[in-house]
Amino acid sequence: MNQSPGRDLSIIIPLYNEQDCVKPLFAALGEAFADVDRLLEIILVDDGSRDQTYRTAVAESETTDLPVKIISLQRNFGQTAAMQAGIDAATGRLIATLDGDLQNDPADIPAMVQALEDRQLDLLVGRRAKRQDGLVLRLIPSWIANRLIAMTTGVRISDYGCSLKIYRGDVIRQIRLIGEMHRFIPAWVAAVTDPSRIGEMDVRHRARQFGSSKYGISRTIRVVIDLLSVLFFMRYRNRPGHFFGSCGMLVGGLGMSLMAMLLVSKFLYGQDIGTRPLLLIAVVAILSSLQLICFGVMAEMLARNSNTGPVSDVASQRLTSHQGSSHRGSSHRGYWVREQTMSASYPSDSDELMISLPSNRSVITRKAG
Rounded Cα gap, residues 7 and 84, in angstroms = 19
More confident residue, 239 or 330: 239
Please name the residues in contact with 151: beta carbons below 8 A apart, sequence gap of 6 or more. none
Residues 194 and 270 grouped into a single domain:
no
The per-residue pLDDT for range 95-132, each reduced to its tens digit, is: 999 998 888 899 999 999 999 999 999 999 999 887 76
Residues 248 and 103 grouped into a single domain:
no
Over 70: is that where the pLDDT of 344 sits?
Answer: no
Rounded Cα gap, residues 82 and 197, in angstroms = 25
The per-residue pLDDT for range 15-49, each reduced to its tens digit, is: 999 999 999 999 999 999 988 777 899 999 999 99
Over 50: is that where the pLDDT of 339 sits?
Answer: no
In a domain, 315, yes or no: no
In a domain, 178, yes or no: yes
Which domain-ending residue is among 304, 328, 343? 304
Give the pLDDT band of residue 262 (cuts 50, 70, 90): very high
Count of structural domains, the chain: 2
More confident residue, 166 or 176: 166
In the chain, % of residues over pLDDT 90: 42
Q: Give the pLDDT score at 136.
A: 59
In a domain, 151, yes or no: no
In a domain, 65, yes or no: yes
Residues 164 and 292 grouped into a single domain:
no
Mean per-residue pLDDT, 352-359 = 36
Over 90: is that where the pLDDT of 282 sits?
Answer: yes
Mean per-residue pLDDT, 357-365 = 32
In a domain, 68, yes or no: yes
Residues 50 and 185 grouped into a single domain:
yes
Residues 84 and 202 grouped into a single domain:
yes
Closest listed residue to residue 20, CA positions, set 103, 74, 105, 101: 101
In a domain, 145, yes or no: no
Burial of 97 (0-12, 13-18, 19+ CB in 10 A): buried
In a domain, 323, yes or no: no
In a domain, 217, yes or no: no
263: containing domain? 240-304
